[in-house]
Amino acid sequence: MSDVILLFFVIANIVLSLVLFLNNPRSATNKLFSGLIIILTIYLAVNTEMVLFQDAEVKLILSRLIISLGAVINGFVFLFLTTFPQDRIKLKSSIIHMVSWSTAGLFIAGFTPLIFSGIDINNNVVTPKPGILMPIFLVHTIVLIFGGIVSIFLRYKKSVGLEKNRIQYVLLSFFILFSLVIILNFILPVFLKIGFFVPFLPIYILIFNLIVGYAIVRQRLMDIRVLVGRAVVYVLLLLMVAAFFSATLLFAGYRFIGISFSSTQSIFFIIILVITAISFHPVQLIVEKFTEKLLFKNRYDINDVLTHLNKIMASTLQLDELAHKILRELKTQLKIHTLTFIFFEKDDVSDVITEGFQSPPTYKAEDIRQITQSQEVLVFEDLEEGPIKNTMRSLDFSVVAQLRTEGKQIGLLAFGQKSSGEIYSSQDIQLVTILSPEAAIAIQNALSYEQVRRFNVTLQEEIEKATTDLKSANTQLEVLDKLKDEFVSVASHELRTPMTAIKSYAWMVLNNKAGEISPKAHIYLDRVYTSTERLIHLVNEMLDVSRIESGRVTLHKTSINPLDLCDDMQTEFAAKVADAQVTFTIHKPDMLPSIEIDQEKITQVLENLIGNSIKYSQKGATITLTVTQEGNLVRFSIADTGRGIASDDMPKLFKKFGRLENSLVTVTAESSGLGLFISKQYVELHGGTVDVQSELGKGSTFSFTLPIISDTNPLQSSVS
C-alpha cells in the first residue's frame, strides 16, 4: 500500500521538480526549490524503504544516509526561504559560505560515527544512537530551519503586491504541512495509537510542493482567501460525499445485503469514490468538448462570438464597415446564408446593408411595416399565422431583431435561412437578443458620426462657396475701383486740357495780347473766362471728392502760423472783395501758436468759406474772419451778414451737392455743392470740427477748429 503511494509520490515529485526547473532555469528560487524537491524525495523514499531491510548494518548505513541528506535539506531549506521569490540569492557571502561549509561538513560527517555512532534494535524498532556531533547537527537544523522561516516571515511583512502574495502561499503551505505532520504523524500515532496516516506523509509533502511550485510559477496568483475558501468547500463536499458513501456501504450494505467489508476494502472503496468525485467535473468538461466537436460541428461558443462582436463594434465608427463586419461575423459563426441590416430615418427606409445576396433586394417602408412594431425578436417558426408571419415569409426572413436605442427604432437586423437549412436554436436566439441593443447603440453612434461628418462636408462646401462669392465680389470691387481711378485720370487730363486752352486764350485776349478789344467784347469774353473758371473749379472739386472717398488723401503737414494764413486771405480776396463791394475785416490776436497743418488744404477750406460768404452777401455787407485760441484748439470763424440759411436746410449743408432727396431743387445756387463737403472732410482729417450758426435773413457764421498739437505723425499724416 505504502509502496504505491511512495511510487506515485516519487514520480509526481520528479515531474514537479523538472517542471519547476524548466519554468525558469535562471532563477535561484526555481533552482533551489527543484533541488529541494529532489532531495526531499530521496530522503523520504529511503526513510520509507528502510523498514524493508532487516540487517542492522544496512539500517545503520541507511540511517546515516538519511541524516546526511537531512543536513543538505536544512541547507536548501534555509537558502530557499531566504531567497524566495527572488531570482538571485541576496545573502552576504559570509553567510553563504558558513551555510555551505557547515552543510558540507555535516553531510560528510553524517557518514561517519560522529553523528550516528551505532544502532540499537529492540523488537524491530530501529533507534540510531547519537554520536558526538549530533548536538551540532541539531543546532544546524534548528538554526537553518528557523532562521529561514524567520527570514521569510520578515520579508512577508515588508513586501507588497505580488511578492507578498507569493510568500503568503509559501507560508500557508508551510503551515498546512506542519499542521498535518504534527497532527497525523505525531499526535495521532503517539497519543491515540492511530498510525494509519503515517505513510501518507509523502502526500502532504507533495501537496506542499505543489502549492509552493504554484506560487513560484504563476504570474498571477489567486487570492489566498479565495483559494482557501474554495479548498474548504471542496474538502467539505468530499467529506460529505465520502461520509454518505461509507455509511451507506458499510451500514446499509451490512444490514440489507449482508455484506461486510474489511477495513482495508472499505478504505479502498472510499478512496476510489473520492477520486471519482474529484475527477467528475474535469472529466465532464473534457467529454463535453469532445462530443461537441464530434456531434455538433456547427456549435460555437456564444461568449466568444459576443466578445468578438463587441470588439468589432468598438473598432470602427464607419457605418458601412461596422455593419458589414457585424454581418460577416454572424454569417461565419452561425453559418447563415443571408443577413440584412435595414436602417430607418423619419419613418422611411434610409439604408440597407446586406451580406450573402447575389443582388441585394430593396425594401420599402410599407413592406416591412408589419415587422417593425414588435418589441422582441421575431422568430418565424414561433409565430402564429398572420400578417407578421406573412411578411417574414415574403421577405424570406427567419429571424428579425429590432434595433432600438433611446426608445427610438433605428432599424432592423434580419436573418435569412441558415446554410444547413436548420432552424435557429435557442442559443442563436439568445445571442441575437443580447446583440440587438448593443448593435443598435453601435449603429446609432456610427450614424451620428456620419451626420457630423456630412455636416462637416456641407459646412466646408458652404465655406468654399462663400469664399468664392467673396472673391468674386472683391474682384468686382477691384474692377470698379480701377474704373474709378481711370475716370479720375481721364477727368484730370481730358477735361482739363481743353479748359486750359479756353481759359488761357480768353485771358490773352482779355489782357490785350491780341490787340485791343471793345468794352462789349471785354464783357462777353470775361463771362467766357469766368464760366471756364467755374468749370475748372467744379472738376477740381469732383476730383477732390473722389480722392477723399477712396481714402487717398495725404496730408502734408507743415508748421504754419494762423496769423499768416489770415494775411494770405486778405491779399487773395482783395480783388474779389472790391468787386463785390463788401467789407472784409480780420480779427486776430497779437500772438497765436503755430499749428501743424496741410497748408494747401486748409487754404482751400478758408477760400471756400470766405468765397461762399462773398457770394451770398449784398453790396455793403461785412464779412469778418476771426481767429482765436480755445484751449488746445485754434478756431477760425467766417461771419457774414448775408441771407442766411433756413434751419431746415442746415443738416444738408455739409453733404455732397446739398440736395434734398428726390428733388430737383438745389439748396445752394451758383455753387457746386461740394465745397462744404470737402471743407468738412479736410478739417476732420486734421482732427478738427466744423460748425455753422445761421439765421434766415440775418447772416451765417461758419467756423472750424484745428488742434494745435496733432496726435498723429506731426509732419506727414496719411489717412487711408
| Contacting residues toward another protein, per CB under 8 A | 488-489, 492-493, 496-497, 499-501, 503-505, 507-508, 511, 513, 536, 539-540, 543, 554
**Least separation, in Å, of the C-beta of 469 and another protein?**
33
Residue 665, classed as helix, strand or coil, is: coil
For 232-267, the three-class secondary structure string (H helix, E strand, C coil) is HHHHHHHHHHHHHHHHHHHHHHHHHHCCCCCHHHHH
**Least separation, in Å, of the C-beta of 568 and another protein?**
16
**Least separation, in Å, of the C-beta of 654 and another protein?**
23
Asked whether the beta carbons of 611 and 668 are under 8 A apart, the reply is no
Q: Is 63 left (phi over 0), alpha (psi -120 to 50) or beta?
A: alpha
With respect to another protein, which residue has the nearer C-beta, 540 or 624?
A: 540
**Least separation, in Å, of the C-beta of 595 and another protein?**
22
**Least separation, in Å, of the C-beta of 472 and another protein?**
29
**Least separation, in Å, of the C-beta of 543 and another protein?**
6
Distance CA 172, CA 211 (A): 9
**Least separation, in Å, of the C-beta of 608 and another protein?**
15
Residue 211, classed as helix, strand or coil, is: helix
Distance CA 532, CA 538 (A): 10
Residues 6+ apart with CB under 8 A from 325: 312, 315, 316
**Least separation, in Å, of the C-beta of 496 and another protein?**
4
Reported as type and span, the H/E element at residue 576 is helix 562-580
With respect to another protein, which residue has the nearer C-beta, 494 or 695?
A: 494
Distance CA 275, CA 241 (A): 11
With respect to another protein, which residue has the nearer C-beta, 142 or 514?
A: 514
With respect to another protein, which residue has the nearer C-beta, 210 or 517?
A: 517
**Least separation, in Å, of the C-beta of 493 and another protein?**
5
Asked whether the beta carbons of 560 and 517 are under 8 A apart, the reply is no
Nearest to 583 by CA among 621, 629, 535: 621
Residue 195, classed as helix, strand or coil, is: coil
**Least separation, in Å, of the C-beta of 712 and another protein?**
18
With respect to another protein, which residue has the nearer C-beta, 172 or 488?
A: 488
**Least separation, in Å, of the C-beta of 497 and another protein?**
5
Distance CA 422, CA 381 (A): 11
Distance CA 441, CA 410 (A): 9
With respect to another protein, which residue has the nearer C-beta, 475 or 716?
A: 716
Distance CA 485, CA 586 (A): 41
Strand partners, 345: 348
- Dihedral pair phi/psi, residue 128, rounded to 5°: -70, 145
C-alpha cell at 17: 521538480
Sign of CA dihedral 34, 35, 36, 38: positive
**Alpha-carbon 109 to chain mean position:** 71
**Least separation, in Å, of the C-beta of 482 and another protein?**
14
Reported as type and span, the H/E element at residue 343 is strand 339-345
DSSP characters for 385-447? SSHHHHHHHHHT-SEEEEEEETTEEEEEEEE--BTT-PPPPHHHHHHHHHHHHHHHHHHHHHH
Distance CA 403, CA 256 (A): 65
